[in-house]
Amino acid sequence: MNTVSLPASPEEFYRTLVENAAEGMLTIDAESQIVYANPAVEDILGYSPEELIGSSKMTIIPERLQPVHAEALAAYVETGDRHIDWSGMELPALHKDGHEVPTLISLREHEYDGEQYFTGIIRDVSDRRERERELQAQKERLDEFADILAHDIRNPLSVARGYTDIAREGRDDDELDRVVEALDRIDQLVDDVLALSKQGRRIGDTESVALEAIVREAWNSVETAGASLEVEGELGSVEADRSRFRELFENLFRNAVEHATVEGAPPTITVGSLEGGFYVADDGPGIPEPIRGDVFDHGYSTRESGTGYGLSIVRQIAEAHGWRIRIEDADGGGARFEIRTGN
């Protein structure tokens, strides 16, 4: 029978665990003096435990942040109110050689012999930050590639359209009609490539955007195929990333033109205000209630030729702003997209 040899005391056992941990650990008292540091701290910040114990925690805090740290600890000791997330916050720490190390710090408060102490578990997140920078750079290259691709495709596409129009003059030719349909499809796919390249983009700086102005900008930038736009009442303004906000309307309009056209009759699309937001409605066949939750899924489409990207992009933009979107029945049975901005 195998037996396990335990340390002589629980204190020795836990000290062994802490001193062999991969994460750095620092304990300070209520006066910000470091009373304990484990060996892993040296791997992260370059200081041996002996160099840190007895010094101030300001030793490892960049100078520009020292007043903030001092005020935060003093305020907590006095009031007990936390103004930071103790479960995990990203903060720069100062390495012994002077460079800053991005770290993730979790804090715990405890008491020993009637004294108040705080222990921080420190993780070096430099590798994660580097991966994030690489991903951002890759995303920017992909955005640039999508813009170049769209530009380079649209130039010969415009030439092909022009010659097709010339060839169709005075002719009723099914083959040329199919060419036009194929060119329209390529144009739509170019729009989808551009939209997808921006889908993961965060919301940038926001500003007060006049709703009616952005609605008309979006309407003028999409192929409406004979559809008409109506704006009901005063729409007011919304705090939004202007570019992404316009993209939201562009996709809603394209969706309405594509799905609300019935037997060749283009729809009327209405934009109006509602309490805490706005809506975009059409007079088409509407969206059956059982699939309303599915239409926002990436790649979902009710048409064989559809890509299913448009409404997923709409939801992504709305949620990135902190807005809520839902589908209701429009007056007359069409689809009505309601977006609550909280304004």
Residue 272 is predicted with a pLDDT of: 93
- Nearest 5 degrees, angle CA 273-CA 275-CA 276? 95
Residue 48 near residue 36 (C-beta atoms within 8 A)? no
Which string of DSSP letters, residue by residue, matches 183-233? HHHHHHHHHHHHHHHHTTPPP---EEEEHHHHHHHHHHTS--TT-EEEEES
- Give the Cβ contact number of residue 83 at 10 Å: 9
Tokens of 288: 């059956």
Quote the CA–CA distance of 314 and 104 in Å, as a whole number.
34
Kindly report, as residue ranges, where domains of CATH 1.10.287.130 are found in the chain: 126-198
Q: Which residues of the chain, if any, have pLDDT below 50? A: 1, 299-300, 302, 304-307
Q: Where in the chain is the domain with CATH 3.30.450.20?
A: 10-124
pLDDT at 162: 80
CB 30 within 8 A of CB 115: yes
How high is the pLDDT of residue 202? 62
Residue 265 half-sphere exposure, CB side, CA atoms within 13 Å?
Answer: 8
- The predicted pLDDT at position 305 comes to 45
Confidence at residue 307, expressed as pLDDT on a 0 to 100 scale:
46
Q: Name 326's bridge partners.
A: 338
* Closest by Cα among 49, 15, 21, 12 to 34: 49
Q: How many CA atoms lie within 13 A of 81 on its CB side?
A: 4
Length of the chain: 343
What was the pLDDT predicted at 258? 85
User: What are the Cα distances from residue 104, in Å, to 89, 120, 269?
Assistant: 5, 10, 50
The hierarchical CATH code for the domain 126-198 is 1.10.287.130
| CATH superfamily, with its number, for domain 203-343 | Histidine kinase-like ATPase, C-terminal domain (3.30.565.10)
Question: Which CATH architecture describes the domain 10-124?
Answer: 2-Layer Sandwich (3.30)
Report which DSSP code applies to 333. S
- Please give the pLDDT value at position 266: 87
Q: What stretch(es) of the chain map to CATH 3.30.565.10?
A: 203-343
